[in-house]
A = this chain, B = another copy of it.
């Protein structure tokens, strides 16, 4: 998205205030979407419109700390103090950066998920399928995350905490490391991390509680993840592995592998991703593989406008207890995305 900065620093110079900036940007999308809904039933092909205005604020303290915050026009939940509601606040200095609110936990911060080189779409079909994993254990509580991160040359480290406001569940936390280097003209990246969550009736990623009717996660879980990515000459690829291990004997567990591929040439970008869950319940009929893949293509018209097509499909057929409608759950969209 193109950033349209209101250089308020300059504008307010005569008013005698120091450095502070409110950037107002926006985006809009129009098109068509269709496929199957979350209940597994076909939906009428119909018009798609979406729009948002983004407020990004930044400033600097007298001794050189930078700070900022962001909220969007659509985030009506952002004004409840005990929930992030889509807003984030940060403070940054030599010590690193502290961010609170709607931000990535340390595991998500460290890993490269399968949307590497992704062409994007208006309805996010390519990242909404069951095989896609984007946020690991983040959001297991209220989504209000506190993360500290810092970089040392090519090396980055982060630590994050997410709390249960009721105090009934143990506090979640995560630790992540990432490393990036230039290897003969190719950008190579590695990430590894660990996350702890304490949950009830929980399913990771995009897994559907309708498709997996009964046997979900309860109790404490250790999540371990690792990813590798490479980008060169318009090509990009990544692989990511995650394991969710229960601390409770007999509880459900799962592991996940995903691959992402992208290619950009001139105005055209095409991308694909595939993911597979190995889901294991104590009941065989609730166990098995769940897969999904996504495709996206974009044509950049310049000036912030682009045409997007995307497709996503989920397959729960290996889970005996999953409803038949979830054997082949598809969504697609086609339209124009505009950024301002």
Contact = CB atoms under 8 A, between A and B. Distances in A.
A303 B18 contact: yes
A50 B304 CA distance: 31
A91 interface: yes
Interface stretch (A41-49, A205-213, A215-223, A319-327): A41-49
17 contacts: A4-B8, A7-B11, A7-B14, A18-B302, A20-B303, A20-B339, A44-B164, A47-B146, A49-B101, A51-B87, A51-B101, A55-B73, A60-B303, A61-B303, A62-B301, A67-B305, A91-B338
A76 B76 contact: yes
Contacts of A317: none
Interface string A144-166: 10100000000000000001111
A24 to B, nearest CB: 5
A5 interface: yes
A57 interface: yes
Report the interface size class on chain A.
Answer: 35 or more
A71 interface: yes
Interface in A71-99: 71, 73-74, 76, 78-79, 81-82, 84-85, 87-89, 91
A4 to B, nearest CB: 5
Interface in A249-308: 301-305
A336 interface: yes
Contacts of A51: 69-71, 78-79, 87, 89, 101
Contacts of A8: 4-6
A63 interface: yes
Nearest to A84: B49
A22 interface: yes
A309 interface: no
A25 interface: yes
Given A5-B15, A89-B338, 9 more contacts: A4-B21, A7-B11, A26-B71, A28-B57, A30-B91, A47-B100, A49-B100, A65-B305, A69-B338
Contacts of A202: none
